[in-house]
Amino acid sequence: MSDAECGVRKAEYGASKAEGGRQKAAVTHSVARFFPGRNGWLPNRDFSVGCDGSFLEEDERQRFRFGIPHSAIVTPHSAIPHSSLRHPSLVTPPSAYRTPHSAPRTPPFAFRLPPSAFRLPSSAFRFRRFALRTRLVSCLILLVFLHCISCARKPETGRVVIYSPHGKELLGEYEKLFEQKYLGTDVQWLDMGSQDVLDRLRSEKANPQADVWFGAPNTMFAEAAAAGLLESYRPTWAESVPPVARGENDSWYGTYFTPEVIAFNSNAVQGDAVPKDWDDLLQPRWKGRIIMRDPVASGTIRTIFAAMLFRFQQQGEPEKGFDWLRRLDAHTKEYTANSTLLFQKMARGEADITLWNMPDMELQREFYHYPFDYVFPASGTPYLTEGIALVRGGKAGEWARRYYEFVTSQESLALAARKFYRIPARKDIPASQLPERIWRARDQVQPMDLDWKILEQQTAGWMKRWENEIKSSSR
C-alpha cells in the first residue's frame, strides 16, 4: 500500500471519529495472541499495529479488546465504505458478525493457534499429581508417627504448687525428677522462710493457692495444724519414723533432722578464735561482725532464739534469756531479708559469724565454693525435725499426694543426703545409701533437751517481745 493510500485512510478515520463514532477507521492487523474467554476469544495485553506500522493508543487498545464482538477483531464493515478502499478484500464482510452460536468464536483475521497450544503437556499434569500424592503420603506418615508416640506413653497432666524454705537447689532437683517421672506435670515452688509460709497459708485459708508445704520446724507444723491449715494424710512409710517426727491425726510427718550450727567465714576466723559455744558469741571481739537472717521470717533463727530463752527459763531466770538476746543484738551488724543475701555477704567478708543450719552451710561450701565452716555448739544445739504436709483445700488432689510420696521415698531421701547433706528422718534407709558425713554429723551432734510443746506455745509471744523491745530499740 502506498503512502498516499494510507493517508486517505487516516483522513477517513479522523472524520469518522469526529462525527461521534467510536469505530475504528483503519484496517489493522493484530499481532496480539488471542486466548479463549468465557464469551469468546479475547486478546492479551500485547500491542496492535496500524497499516502504517504505528502502535495503537491505549484507549483504542481497550476498545479493541472489549468494545467489539468476540467474533471479530477488525473494524466493522459499515465504518469504512467499500468505495473508499482499493482492497476490499482486507475489510471484514458483514456476515462475519452473524456467526451462529454453534460455530467456533474465533477472530477471522487474527493469528490462530491450534487448540493444543493452550493445553499444558500431559507430563506437567502427571508431575503435579505426583507432587500432590507425595505431600499427602508425607502428612499421613507424620500423623501416624505422632499418634504412635502419644500412644506409647500418654502424658499426664497436673499442677502442684509447693511452699518451702529448702532452697532452689533441692527444690529444683525434685521438680526436674518428678516431671520426668510424670510427663505433663508442672511443679511450681516458692522458696521462702518458714514463718513466711505459715503467714501466707493463714492469709490464703479461704482460697488456698498451695498444695504442699515442704519444710519447716515441727513447731510451726503443729501451729498450722491447730489453725486448721493442714489436711490429714498418712503416707505409706508412716511407721518408719520415730514418734517425734509425726503430728497428731497425721497432720504432718518428718522428712529431715536438721542440727543448728555456729557458722563462720574460714578465711577470717581460724584456730582458737573460732567460737565453741553459744555464749562465745557475746565476746567483745565479735561486735559488728555477726550477721543473721531476720528472725521474724526465719524458722531457723526463731528456733535458735526460742531455745536460748527456754534454756534460761528452765534455770528459773527467763529475763536473762532476753538479756542474752539483747547482747547478741548489740553485736549483730545486720538482719538480712533472705538466706541468699546472708550467704553472699558472708562470702564477701562483710561479716564473719552467723547462726544457721548444717545442711545449708555444707551446700554453700560445696556448690558455690564459699569459704564457710561451722561447729556444733558444745552445750548442745536445737535438733529440728523438718516436716511435710498437705495444705487443706489444695487444688492438686492426687498429684499433691504423689509429690508428697515422691520427695519422701527412700530414693529421694538418699539423694537429698548425698547431694544436699540432709539427714533423713526415716529409719529404714540402708546405711550404704547415705554418705559418711551424714553419719559423722549424727555422732557429733548433741541435741538440746527442749520441750517442743512449750516452744510451740510460747515462741510466737517471745518473738513479738523481741521485735518490739530489742530489735526496734537498737535500730
Pick the closest to residue 26 from 8, 7, 13, 11 (CA basis): 13
- Lowest average pLDDT, out of 68-77, 180-189, 305-314, 337-346, goes to 68-77
pLDDT band at 311 (very low <50, low <70, confident <90, very high): very high
pLDDT in tens, 317-333: 999 999 999 999 999 99
Q: Residue 133 contacts by C-beta under 8 Å, 6 or more apart in sequence?
A: none
Cα Rg for the chain, rounded, in angstroms?
47
Specify whether the CB–CB gap between 164 and 214 falls below 8 A.
Answer: yes
- How confident is the model at residue 150, as a pLDDT? 55
Q: Please state the CATH superfamily assignment of the domain spanning residues 258-375 in this structure.
A: Periplasmic binding protein-like II (3.40.190.10)
Q: What are the Cα distances from residue 378, in Å, to 275, 280, 340? A: 10, 11, 27
pLDDT band at 443 (very low <50, low <70, confident <90, very high): confident
Specify whether the CB–CB gap between 306 and 464 falls below 8 A.
Answer: no
- Asked whether the predicted pLDDT for residue 257 surpasses 70, the reply is yes
pTM greater than 0.85 (yes/no): no
pLDDT in tens, 339-394: 999 999 999 999 999 999 999 999 999 999 999 999 999 999 999 999 999 999 99
User: Residue ranges of the domains in the chain?
Assistant: 3-118, 120-154, 158-257+385-443, 258-375
Domains 158-257+385-443 and 258-375 share a fold: yes
Q: Residue 278 contacts by C-beta under 8 Å, 6 or more apart in sequence?
A: 262, 308, 377, 379
**Regarding the domain delimited by 158-257+385-443, which CATH topology (the fold level of the hierarchy) does it fall under?**
D-Maltodextrin-Binding Protein; domain 2 (3.40.190)
